[in-house]
Chain A
Amino acid sequence: MADHDLIAAQLGILSARLPAQVVEELADGLQETYRSQLTRLGDPEAAARAAIAEFGDADTVTAAFFRDSPWRRMAVILLATGPMMGAVWGLGLVSAQMWNWPIPLSVRIGYGVVLVTVAGTLLAVVREKRAYRRTRTATLAGAAALIALDAVMLAAVTTVPSAASWPVAVAISASMLRITATVHALQKCCF
């Protein structure tokens, strides 16, 4: 429980934005700052205001967490490598004449819709400034969907005999590299 209403209000805002354990740690820091200011100033109201100024208000603290967020970093990397992956696969699919593959149109459209949705989700994560927890969920979902999309492409090219060509081999390597790197990054972030 916070020692002053203003401190409690700041913690309330942070609780709505950041994970519970982070807020617990911030609560300890903000309370320490408040007590230090109270010793210096003597007046609780002035001490609470000075503590918030010294600690940084909820927006400043949230922004600092977003700058250092491993989720946001992962979303940026996945988005930045997206065009290169698209180009590599595009070249591979054209060289393998994928329009002749026995894959139903609905599956192709579904794949495209999921891909665009994932890109949109990751873009929203990069632009997000406040909802840290939502950022984590969205990045997890986006990364998992990308792994699934890569796996679908790998399954498709290995089942189509005419797909063997060096551009496809490059695309397969790129997808396997992305799956490995994403799983490794998720393990580092989550566990």
Chain B
Amino acid sequence: MRAEALKGHLDGLLLAALEEGPQHGYAVKEALRESTEGRIDLPSGTIYPALHRLEQAGLITGTWSVVGGRRRRTYELTSDGREALSGERDRWQEFAGAVTAALRTRPWPTTT
């Protein structure tokens, strides 16, 4: 799937990837790839600035830990983040429903 197609939806996708529990950046990317059966596979490095933006907006919170001798930042949803995710879902359902209705194939009119 092309990156442009994700414009406006990346935040919702990242919030959804964190819904199951705390994850670090690479795990978020993997969760996104697995949940979409490989159709959304973003360059991992570009996910980090988006996570920082969500953290600054108060939708997720990050904590440092040490794993295998390396410092690791793990993110989890805040209550505002859960609310935002719920809103994203509602908006997406509405949008997807409207586009599906508009794009559905209609039978040709009969000419008798």
Contacts and interface: CB of A to CB of B under 8 A. Distances in A.
Interface of A: 22, 24-33, 54-56, 60-61, 64-65, 67-70, 188-189
A89 B72 CA distance: 49
A26 B26 contact: no
Interface of A is mostly: helix
Given A55-B43, A56-B44, A28 B25 contact: yes
Interface residues of B, number: 18
A50 to B, nearest CB: 12
Given A31-B70, A61-B46, A70-B56, 13 more contacts: A22-B52, A24-B70, A25-B73, A28-B26, A28-B73, A29-B25, A55-B45, A56-B44, A60-B46, A65-B48, A68-B50, A68-B53, A70-B53
B107 interface: no
Contacts of A22: 48, 52
Contacts of B109: none
B52 A68 contact: yes
Interface of B is mostly: helix
B9 to A, nearest CB: 15
B43 A54 contact: yes
B82 interface: no
Contacts of A69: 49
Given A28-B24, A28-B25, A70-B56, A64 B70 contact: no
Contacts of A54: 43-44
A67 B46 CA distance: 10
B71 interface: yes
A3 to B, nearest CB: 11
